[in-house]
Amino acid sequence: MQAKSFYGFEEILAQELKALGAADVKIGNRIVEFYGDLGFMYKANYSLRTALRIQKPITTFSVKTEDQLYTRLKKFHWENYLNVDQTFMIDPTVHSDYFTHSHYAALKMKDAIVDRFKEKMDKRPSIDKDNPDVRFNLHISADKVTVSLDSSGDSLHKRGYRSETGPAPINEVLAASLLLAAGWDGKGNYLDPMCGSGTMLIEAAMIANNIPAQIHRSHFAFQNWPDYDKELFTQIRNTRLNRIKESEYKIVGYDISPMMVKIAEENVRSADLSEFIEIRHQDFFESKKEMFPVLLVFNPPYNERLENDNQVFYKKIGDTLKSSYPNTLAWFVTSDLSAKKYVGLRPSRKLKVFNGKLECDFLQYEMYEGTKKFKKQND
């Protein structure tokens, strides 16, 4: 099987998979391959925080022409995976000199599926791009073709708890990936000083309380498969729910905008996490450290929410960390790749990540009081 991830977080996803019990874990580019049985596939979809999709390869072959592609696909036993009365869609990814248009490759695959059903049953399944019963992934690299079943359906970032959004909300999978990359495990206090719509806070609380990532999700694509085992999925879901615990540490969010505070509070209520998260109408630049120890991980607002230019804004972040947050580990993600020049501090770590197609820096700053003889706050 394969789990898709954001660029730069493949190792984090691999660690998650190993912790769940996956075998033969292999890291690729934005993808992690692994072995697991049907029950593990259910568990991976329900539990993984840093996966975007879980896919099950069903056939692999090599071809170099569109006619060869059609012929091989038409011979495949699609009726084992798709009922003639069901709808389907194809998500193509093509990196090949032999096949230059992903849409056309998907069209050949659609024709092959439909023609096989018409010949075998004199009926054909229909395409539904919005809400299909079965999703296929067509991946072509050079002459190698892999067709997979998408077991997730909607992207796994759609957790189901976010009822309101502000400008440029962070993707839930990206938020969880950033938190885990920063070392967040719930065994300490956490502050998001620019919390926006509250996504980082909610993901942090779900990690701290061991709440399954998809606890609010009502449906997965694998529930439409012929081999879906409802009893097994119910058993796995209940086992994961029984592992929820209550964190004893504080999770706090600040935002300077009263509107964003209300939006964040509504999302936290929707996620049923109000007892674990505190949100304040607070200007980070006028704040002081209140929790000891505390980890800061945040996503500063994009340009449309900034009153000043980026240079002034990021300088104020650095000044506030230096003056008001001693002995603190702080991380923030930014699409302004020159931001670190303005902060006035040297980052101790920098990771290149992507927010959608936007290249970003994920920067770590270790704040000390006095000298570097002080140990890091989470040692």
Residue 165 neighbours by CB under 8 Å, 6+ apart: 197, 263
- What is the structure's pLDDT at 164? 73
Side-chain-facing half-sphere of 76: CA atoms under 13 Å: 23
* CATH code, residues 172-210+245-367: 3.40.50.150
Mean pLDDT of 321-350: 95
Question: 44-86, pLDDT tens digit by residue?
Answer: 999 999 999 999 999 999 999 999 999 999 999 999 999 999 9
Domain assignments of the chain as residue spans, ordered by start: 2-150, 172-210+245-367
With CA atoms as reference, report the closest residue to 294 among 324, 319, 262, 334: 324
Contact (Cβ atoms closer than 8 angstroms) between residue 200 and residue 242:
no
Distance CA 295, CA 178 (A): 12
Mean pLDDT to the nearest integer, 190-219: 97
Q: In what order do the strands lie in the sheet with 144-150?
A: 23-27, 31-35, 2-4, 53-62, 144-150, 134-141, 87-95, 126-127
What does the alpha-carbon distance between residue 243 and residue 43 come to, in Å, rounded to a whole number? 13
pLDDT digits (tens, 9 = 90+) for 269-283: 999 999 999 999 999
- Is the predicted pLDDT of residue 307 greater than 80, yes or no? no
Q: Which residue type does 335 have?
A: S
53-62 and 328-334 as β-strands: parallel, antiparallel, unpaired? unpaired
Q: Is the pTM of this model over 0.85?
A: yes
Q: Say which CATH class 2-150 falls into.
A: alpha beta
Fold match, 2-150 / 172-210+245-367: no
- Specify whether the backbone of 323 is left (phi greater than 0), alpha (psi in -120 to 50) or beta: alpha
| pLDDT above 70: residue 183 | yes
For residues 210 and 240, what is the distance between their CA atoms, to the nearest angstrom? 9
pLDDT by residue (tens digit) across 101-130? Answer: 999 999 999 999 999 999 999 999 999 998
Contacts 24+ apart (CB under 8 A), 268-272: 268/198, 268/201, 268/202, 270/161, 270/162, 270/163, 271/159, 271/161, 271/202, 271/205, 271/206, 271/216, 272/161
Q: Output 311 or 77, whichever has higher pLDDT.
A: 77
- 3-state secondary structure at position 280: strand
Contact 167, 222 (CB under 8 A): no
SS3 content of the chain, % helix, strand, coil (to 5): 35, 25, 40
Neighbours of 281 (CB within 10 A): 13
Q: Percent of the chain beyond pLDDT 70?
A: 95
- CB 127 within 8 Å of CB 196: no
d(CA 276, CA 326): 25
- 375 — pLDDT class (breaks 50, 70, 90): very low
**How far is the C-alpha of 69 from the C-alpha of 63, rounded, in Å?**
6
Mapping DSSP onto H, E and C, the string for 173-240 reads HHHHHHHHHCCCCCCCEEEECCCCCCHHHHHHHHHHCCCCCCCCCCCCHHHHCCCCCHHHHHHHHHHH
The secondary structure of 57-76 as a DSSP string is EEEEEE-SSHHHHHHHHHHS
pLDDT tens, residue by residue, 206-229: 999 999 999 999 999 999 998 999
**147 touches 59 (CB < 8 A):** yes
Res. 376 pLDDT band, cuts 50 70 90: very low
Average pLDDT, the chain: 93
**CA angle, 74 then 75 then 80, to 5°:** 95
What is the crossing angle of helices 10-20 and 172-181, to 10°? Answer: 90
